[in-house]
Amino acid sequence: MTESAAPRVPDAVRRRRRRVVCVTASVALQVPLLVTLLSVPPADKGPAAERTAADERRLQDVFTAAAAEYGVPRSVLMGVSYQQSRWDFHRGTPSVVGGYGPMHLVDVPHLQGALPRAGAHPLAGPQSSTHKANPQGVRTAQPADLQRAARLIGAPVERLRTDPAANVRGGAALLAAIQRELGKPLSADPADWWEAVARFPGMGDTVSANTYANDVFTVIRRGAHRTTDAGQHITLPASPGVRPRPHDPRRPKDIECPPELSCSWVRAPHVEIGDGEYGNYDRADRPNDQKIEYIVIHDTEGPLPSMFKTVKNPYEVSWHYSIRSSDGHVTQHVKTKDAARHSGSQYINARSIGIEHEGILTQPDTWYTEQMYQASARLVRYLAKKYDIPLDRQHVFGHDNVPSPMGVTIPHMHDDPGPYWDWQHYFELLGAPLRGTAGRDSEMVMMLPDYTTHKPLFTGCKTSGVPCAPHGSSAVRLHTEPRDDAPLIQDPGRRPEGDPSTEDVNDLGSRVSAGQTFAVAGRSGDWTAIWYQGSRAWFKNPRVRPTAVGTTGRMVTPKDGLSEIPVYGRALPEADAYPDDVPVKDESPLPYRLLAGQRYVTQDRVAGSYVDKSGSDGTFRVVKGDEEFYEIQFGHRLAYVRASDVEVVDSPGAAGAPSRPQR
């Protein structure tokens, strides 16, 4: 979520504000057998050790049986389900549009009284007169209707909400009904189902519908395999002969968006609001005056209609894009050449593009939909290519990873998109999968817990101190010693009074996240230590299902003779680089210590610079210096150290090989 330089709002108050191919005759199963197959065990039922291999493959059999019963190619049914939910059940939790189960069947009548949302109905889109394909921005197409699916299979509506197997069967019946409505036969050839697939999710515009169908057929062509959130092992064999169709984008000409996405404008204002101050973004000429180096991932912590009101208010903050949860629709607000005010750091704002995702971090199953993940990844791939931004976790990061510009602002920095954002899946969609590049005993590690099975305890999702429901997470918790009952690492910047870190879902003081890389500071049995904010921090890293993987890269360490060096939240130019009419900015080191012998991973070396916003027309100018800095993964957030204070160490990536300092 974007933020201004406002005083810290208490966590409790802040949370209140967030509100296929041919199906053979041998697969034509009898109804009694089908009923047996549809009895899929619910998620987390019984100890994992008691689950048999057949239990873990039962949903696979359900797809086969449902496809045969309704005459749908199994690859089409499985491909649609993968695109809808990645075959996950989400513990029966509805999405923001009331979508349930592996087929994400939408129960609109149930939704209207079930989800407390302010503003427009969840199926309403941005009010944008420039979106010609849908001038009112409202979805008029019928979504994958759970109520209709229940009628088609003769089952109670509640069963399709709570039973993943009935949900799959309902999805198959819907696909067959759509195919018949199109006047097409129930063919065994997946290619004959393209139009039915495009119509299935009820996209409100042609671009989105065509992109959806192409995504489904890409999955069918490539195949897929994963273990679901309910522990089901699912495999969709590849069908190399299946091909997507070309895109036909229709959108406003000035929008900055890849052709396969449905995009529109809701413009942020740039107007004078008094005394030469302009809101709500800064005009610039990036990347000509300032290189764009980062993409910041936010969530809105509220429904999108209310955020559109915010971004249109010149006295409020701004960001470049919003992505709708229900279908991944993209709305642009600020040109990427201009600097939006979204991160809580003017230094990062000047160098970044901010993307808001409709969602609430404590309700991932409701808001973090596959459609939103995929649209976001498409947009980020497009922007990264346009501006030559590396696809790694020091350049594509969350609002919760933004470095605080000064020590006094650390407690005010935001914590979205939170521990339930699936960074590993996100980077797979970006085409830059997170993976190890070195052995287990390497000098560097990348955090890479298995999102589905890694379920650390968090509290405060609904009530302060009350445990959240178990859920997959990208976050890894850190301790002061290598044991489960050891105290959590304490963040002296976030809690300057010395209060201990907690397991609260909004407390970043003692955790790291998937894709972040750190220098190893020690090992003890199943535990690994990393250097973290000037301390040695331990996390459990067993050989079976490890929490981190070995990787290679560069690290920085204080030069010989320096007992400690300062750490900064921004890389400012030296004093004599400022022109006479621009006041010299105070460097304001952060309240952390980087001590001799410690190492931190770096992926970038940058020259110090400062953005001055005193232009009479609301544009900014950049003060550039000669002093250089290394950006480092210092804790959960990034930080900077002077290049003149450190030497660079290459990680060899192999146990026993020497490290090589660079001066």
- Reported as a pLDDT band with limits 50, 70 and 90, residue 36 is very low
Q: How far apart are the C-alpha atoms of 642 and 341, rounded to whole Å?
A: 26
Q: What is the pLDDT of residue 69?
A: 97
Q: What is the pLDDT of residue 655?
A: 39
Q: Is 63 helix (H, G, I), strand (E, B) or coil?
A: helix
* Stated pTM of the model: 0.84
Is the predicted pLDDT of residue 531 greater than 50, yes or no?
Answer: yes
Q: What fold does the segment set 21-236 form as a domain?
A: Lysozyme (1.10.530)
Cα 101 to chain centroid, rounded: 21
Percent of the chain residues past pLDDT 90, beyond the cut: 74
Is the predicted pLDDT of residue 8 greater than 70, yes or no?
Answer: no
DSSP bridge partners of 539: 528
- Reported as a pLDDT band with limits 50, 70 and 90, residue 34 is very low
- Element (H or E) spanning 279, and its range? strand 277-279
Q: Which residues contact 424 (CB under 8 A, 6 or more apart)?
A: 433, 434, 448, 451, 474, 514, 515
Chain segment 560-609, per-residue pLDDT in tens? 999 999 999 999 999 999 999 999 999 899 999 999 999 999 999 999 99
The H helix count followed by the E strand count for the chain is 16, 29
Q: Among 108-122, 402-416, 451-465, 529-543, which is the least confidently predicted range?
A: 108-122
Average of per-residue pLDDT across 100-129: 54
Q: What is the pLDDT of residue 652?
A: 77
Long-range contacts of 483-487 (CB under 8 A, 24+ apart): 483/527, 484/540, 486/538
Q: What is the pLDDT of residue 485?
A: 96
Average of per-residue pLDDT across 657-661: 41
Chain segment 68-114, per-residue pLDDT in tens? 999 999 999 999 999 999 999 998 889 888 899 999 999 876 544 44
Q: What is the pLDDT of residue 334?
A: 98
Q: How far is CA 608 from CA 399, 404, 585, 629, 642, in A?
A: 22, 16, 12, 7, 9
In the block, residue with structure tokens 């993987």 = 549
Q: How far apart are the C-alpha atoms of 325 and 329, rounded to whole Å?
A: 8
Is the predicted pLDDT of residue 125 greater than 50, yes or no?
Answer: no
Average of per-residue pLDDT across 331-350: 97
Neighbour count for residue 488 (Cβ, 10 Å): 18
Average of per-residue pLDDT across 458-487: 97
Average of per-residue pLDDT across 542-550: 94
Average of per-residue pLDDT across 316-343: 96
Q: How far apart are the C-alpha atoms of 450 and 547, rounded to whole Å?
A: 7
Domain extent listing, the chain: 1-19+247-404, 21-236, 557-662
Average of per-residue pLDDT across 211-237: 94
Q: Which residues contact 57 (CB under 8 A, 6 or more apart)?
A: 232, 233
Q: What is the pLDDT of residue 134?
A: 36
Query: 32 or 44: which carries more pLDDT confidence?
Result: 44
pLDDT averaged over every residue in the chain: 86
Is the predicted pLDDT of residue 261 greater than 70, yes or no?
Answer: yes
Q: What is the pLDDT of residue 203?
A: 85
Domains 1-19+247-404 and 21-236 share a fold: no
Average of per-residue pLDDT across 320-325: 97
Is the predicted pLDDT of residue 189 greater than 70, yes or no?
Answer: yes
Are 394 and 633 contacting, i.e. CB atoms less than 8 angstroms apart? yes
Q: In the CATH scheme, what is the code of domain 1-19+247-404?
A: 3.40.80.10
- Element (H or E) spanning 296, and its range? strand 294-299
Query: 291 or 250: which carries more pLDDT confidence?
Result: 291
Q: Which residues contact 25 (CB under 8 A, 6 or more apart)?
A: none
Is the predicted pLDDT of residue 362 greater than 70, yes or no?
Answer: yes
If you ran DSSP here, which 8-state letter would residue 468 be given?
P
Which pairing describes strands 475-477 and 511-513: parallel, antiparallel, or unpaired? antiparallel
Is the predicted pLDDT of residue 645 greater than 70, yes or no?
Answer: yes
Q: How far is CA 120 from CA 126, 137, 139, 338, in A?
A: 10, 11, 12, 29
Task: Please provide the size of the chain in residues.
Answer: 663
Is the predicted pLDDT of residue 317 greater than 80, yes or no?
Answer: yes
- Reported as a pLDDT band with limits 50, 70 and 90, residue 496 is confident
Are 548 and 599 contacting, i.e. CB atoms less than 8 angstroms apart? no
Is the predicted pLDDT of residue 123 greater than 60, yes or no?
Answer: no
Is the predicted pLDDT of residue 530 greater than 50, yes or no?
Answer: yes
- Reported as a pLDDT band with limits 50, 70 and 90, residue 133 is very low
DSSP line for 376-423: HHHHHHHHHHHHT---STTTEEEGGGSPPSSGGGGGG----S-TTS-H
Q: Is 440 helix (H, G, I), strand (E, B) or coil?
A: coil
Q: What is the pLDDT of residue 4?
A: 47
If you ran DSSP here, which 8-state letter would residue 327 be given?
T
Is the predicted pLDDT of residue 498 greater than 50, yes or no?
Answer: yes
Query: 42 or 483: which carries more pLDDT confidence?
Result: 483
Chain segment 299-310, per-residue pLDDT in tens? 999 999 999 999
